[in-house]
């Protein structure tokens, strides 16, 4: 485990049992293969693994005791004992019937009704995982920075660029100065003008999109408050982020690329940011929203 990952998860309270499965799904792609085996085992059979000692789980997964302990710490627990307690809690929840069954991937010959059901389940799971894993302390700090910002610049490309546009137009409607940038050259030249009272947001699921990292780095070096919305909290974008908001994604398949599920979780995070800012600036946000509704009302009356 890298020092960056240790710093990200050090010091906070261990995740609740309900957040454990979400944590595994989010972090597994960035783990070593041996750590993935441990993570998959505890997520797949929490009751069975809760009954095992650290030695027993190491033997079950064909790894070492040190790997089991490192995996527990990466998932946010001080040690293996704390992970076992969370596993027992998760097992109790599953036995009570609150945990849904896992659906299969969408097949080419699936009836459209099955496609709807499977997509709806995956979207719900993605939202639940993102909510369970979202650090509300980091979210609150990001909201505070946005509410006080002189201007907010948001960087994202492709599907993440659409999410950036969504957040920008929402902030504009409550009177905030906000712009979204998907052109990498314009993004960097924009970032150069940012200062201490400004906020820059990078939206990138992989956390390694150079066209998004570069303007965030420039904004960071010019003193702006920086925020990263990413599915990989240990990725390169985190080096230039004052606040990291982690998203989750559903299982990727041939007919459901990662961009679909990452967009869902990103939209939840930016909606949380928007509502938080609207709450903090309610005295100005409410009249601004009312004015924007009124300005567009005549277009709907005749529609």
Residue pLDDT tens, the chain, 303 long: 334 333 333 345 566 566 677 778 777 777 899 999 999 898 888 889 999 999 999 999 999 999 999 999 888 888 898 889 888 888 887 776 554 444 457 778 888 888 888 888 888 888 888 888 889 999 999 999 999 999 999 999 999 999 999 999 999 999 999 999 999 999 999 999 999 999 999 999 999 999 999 999 999 999 999 999 999 888 999 999 999 999 986 555 555 555 576 888 999 999 999 999 999 999 999 999 888 888 877 776 665
What whole-number distance in Å separates Cα of residue 216 and Cα of residue 266? 17
**Ordered alpha helix ranges (H), the chain:** 3-9, 17-27, 33-44, 46-50, 54-61, 65-74, 80-95, 112-133, 136-147, 158-173, 184-191, 210-221, 258-280, 282-301
CATH number (3.90.1150.10, 1.10.10.10, 1.20.120.420, 3.40.50.2000) of 17-96 reads: 1.10.10.10
Q: 117-300: what CATH class?
A: alpha beta
What whole-number distance in Å separates Cα of residue 265 and Cα of residue 28? 17
Which residues are within 8 A (CB) of 65 and not within 5 positions of it... i.e. 6 or more apart? 54, 55, 58
Share of the chain above pLDDT 70, in %: 84
Task: Tell if the pTM clears 0.75, that is, is over it.
Answer: no
Domain boundaries, the chain: 17-96, 117-300
The closest of 233, 169, 241, 170 to 199, measured between CA atoms, is: 241
Q: Do residues 292 and 176 touch, judged by C-beta distance below 8 A?
A: no
C-alpha to C-alpha distances, 295 to 44, 95, 179, nearest whole angstrom: 53, 53, 21
What whole-number distance in Å separates Cα of residue 272 and Cα of residue 243? 14
What whole-number distance in Å separates Cα of residue 172 and Cα of residue 15? 35
Q: Do residues 185 and 235 touch, judged by C-beta distance below 8 A?
A: no
The closest of 162, 124, 166 to 270, measured between CA atoms, is: 166
């Amino acid at each position: 485990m890298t020092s960056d990952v240790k710093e990200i998860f050090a010091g906070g309270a261990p995740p609740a049992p309900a957040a454990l499965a979400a944590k595994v799904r989010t972090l597994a792609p960035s783990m070593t293969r041996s750590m993935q085996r441990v993570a998959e085992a505890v997520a797949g059979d929490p009751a069975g693994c809760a009954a095992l000692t650290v030695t027993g789980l190491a033997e079950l997964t064909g790894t070492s005791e040190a790997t089991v302990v490192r995996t527990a710490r990466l998932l946010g627990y001080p040690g293996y004992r704390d992970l076992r307690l969370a596993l027992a809690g998760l097992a109790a929840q599953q036995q009570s019937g609150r945990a849904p069954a896992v659906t299969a991937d969408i097949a080419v010959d699936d009836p459209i009704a099955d496609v709807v059901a499977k997509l709806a389940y995956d979207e719900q799971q993605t939202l639940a995982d993102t909510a369970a894993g979202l650090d509300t302390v980091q979210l609150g700090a990001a909201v505070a920075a946005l509410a006080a910002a002189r201007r907010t610049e948001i960087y994202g490309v492709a599907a993440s660029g659409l999410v950036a546009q969504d957040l920008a137009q929402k902030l504009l409607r409550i009177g905030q100065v906000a712009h979204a940038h998907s052109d990498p050259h314009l993004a960097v030249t924009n970032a150069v003008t940012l200062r201490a009272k400004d906020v820059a947001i990078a939206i990138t699921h992989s956390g390694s999109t150079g066209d998004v990292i570069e303007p965030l780095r420039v904004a960071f070096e010019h003193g702006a408050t920086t925020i990263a919305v990413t599915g990989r909290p240990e990725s390169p974008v985190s080096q230039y982020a004052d606040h990291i908001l982690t998203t989750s994604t559903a299982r990727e398949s041939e007919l459901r690329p990662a961009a679909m599920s990452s967009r869902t979780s990103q939209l939840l995070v930016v909606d949380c940011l928007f509502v938080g800012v609207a709450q903090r600036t309610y005295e100005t946000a409410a009249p601004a929203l009312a004015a924007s509704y009124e300005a567009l009302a005549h277009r709907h009356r005749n529609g």
